[in-house]
Amino acid sequence: MARVYNWQIGRDMSYWYPESRPEKQFAAVFDINKCIACQSCTLACKTTWTSGKGQEYQLWNNVESKPYGFYPLRWDLKLLDMLGEQQWDGDQYRGQTIFEAAEAGERVLGWRPEERDFAYPNVGEDDCAGTIETGADFQIPHLAWFFYLARICNHCTYPACLASCPRGSIYKRPEDGIVLVDQQRCRGYRECVKACPYKKVFHNPLVGTSEKCIACFPKGENGLQPQCFVNCIGKIRMAGSISRPEDAKPENPIDYLVHIRKVALPLFPQLGLEANVYYIPPIHAPTPFLYQMFGPGVAAAIKTYRSAVDDMDLAGLLTLFGSSERVMPRWKREGDWTIGLDEQDQEIVRVPLKEPVYLRGPFDEKYQVARTNCP
Ligand code: SF4
Ligand code: SF4
């Protein structure tokens, strides 16, 4: 095993291969507070990539209701149980990652779901945790709560799927860090299905190989965001690339949200994969639950997000989500406008921070018509 640095756990850790970072790393930010579980993302992916035979239960993108939704069944609870105590000391993780906790002869601590675990993608949907007792007031965090967690492959810096493959069929593209399965080499041993803690590799029983999210790389190569991003009704998503923390650039929207404002956090950082999809945590759910899910930065992230109402830069950048099909590697704010830019600083899109308000009277002089819906 090599020693590699994982900034999300604030320390070196053991990994199967030496540290080798891509030229650019594909990354994304999802704002959980805006997701409405419409599943447009799920369907956009399904109709683009997984409508073939043998792919019926493949959801490269899924949206589950936490705390009782899972796809596949109990994907996170089961591994968290296996991993045991997960202690943080400030920003440094003191417990074991799934690479360090692997049993002798295994490369990764993992488990392989049964076929039936994939059969109920909407289990637990909209189920609440907690109860409203008699006389309980409406408060934050809510006593009764749930939230929607949209998930794709994290295109991890230290992928467990890649580490586990005995055939060397899984690779990370040096140009953008996207993790792919070589369909010619794969023999369907399903070690990756067992190893990926997020359960984002799927076995195709008809083809006999493993298949997974490809971050819509043919679109990315043309400067476009993936299908699940551009079809997102809630405009919760932004795709781009992330730098190492010490190289963070404020003009890169993903760097700004993750490294500079620290408002977007990785999912289960303690597992040790340096996952590259980052979440703005839900402000209405209890912090201890979110702490386990997003790590020790969660309280500060929620505080920062709540302050966006008085923070023109943060509020401005959040308005760029879902505003263009193109990837926006840079951004800036000019007064009441936020502008998405390309690599050459050419404008892609501009979005107003404040929507204009038009007051329309009951009679329209220009068209000489009365508006019947005006009070
Ligand atoms: S999320 Fe899973 S499938 Fe995706 S790169 Fe990480 S380990 Fe591999
Ligand atoms: S399309 Fe967007 S809002 Fe709808 S479920 Fe997916 S992530 Fe949530």
CATH of the domain at 203: 3.30.70.20
Supply the pLDDT for residue 132.
77
Distance CA 251, CA 125 (A): 38
- Total number of domains in the chain: 1
Decide if 144 is inside a domain: yes
Decide if 329 is inside a domain: no
Decide if 150 is inside a domain: yes
Q: Give strand ranges (E) for the chain.
A: 2-6, 11-15, 25-31, 62-66, 88-89, 92-93, 147-151, 170-172, 179-181, 201-204, 209-212, 237-242, 265-266, 277-280, 330-334, 337-341, 347-352, 363-364, 369-370
Report pLDDT digits (tens) over 5-40. Answer: 999 999 999 999 999 999 999 999 999 999 999 999
Residue with CA nearest ligand 1 atom 2: 196
Does ligand 2 come within 6 angstroms of the Cβ of 39? yes
Side-chain half-sphere CA neighbours of 9 within 13 A: 27
Supply the pLDDT for residue 355.
85
Backbone torsion region of residue 61, taken as left when φ is above 0, otherwise alpha when ψ lies between -120 and 50, otherwise beta: beta
Residue with CA nearest ligand 2 atom 4: 38
Report pLDDT digits (tens) over 333-366. Answer: 999 999 999 999 999 999 999 888 888 888 889 9
Decide if 46 is inside a domain: yes
Q: ω into residue 67 within 30 of 0, thus cis?
A: yes
Decide if 188 is inside a domain: yes
Decide if 305 is inside a domain: no
Are 318 and 307 a contacting pair, CB within 8 Å? no
CA of 234 from ligand 2 middle (Å) equals 6
**Looking at ligand 2, which atom is closest to the CA of residue 236?**
2
**Looking at ligand 1, which atom is closest to the CA of residue 170?**
8
Domain, as residue range, for 179: 2-131+140-290
Distance CA 226, CA 207 (A): 25
Tabulate helix, strand, coil % of the chain (nearest 5).
25, 20, 55
CA of 360 from ligand 1 middle (Å) equals 52
**Looking at ligand 1, which atom is closest to the CA of residue 160?**
7
Does ligand 2 come within 6 angstroms of the Cβ of 353? no
Question: Which residue of 45, 46, 236 sits with most ligand 2 atoms within 8 Å of its CB, as the best mutation to test the pocket?
Answer: 236
CA of 375 from ligand 1 middle (Å) equals 55
Decide if 345 is inside a domain: no
Average pLDDT over the chain reads: 95
The number of beta carbons lying within 10 Å of the beta carbon of residue 49 is 18
Supply the pLDDT for residue 135.
66
Question: Which DSSP letter does residue 15 get?
Answer: E
Decide if 309 is inside a domain: no
State which residues of the chain have pLDDT below 70. Answer: 134-139, 373-375
CA of 182 from ligand 2 middle (Å) equals 29
Does ligand 2 come within 6 angstroms of the Cβ of 239? no
The model's pTM is 0.94
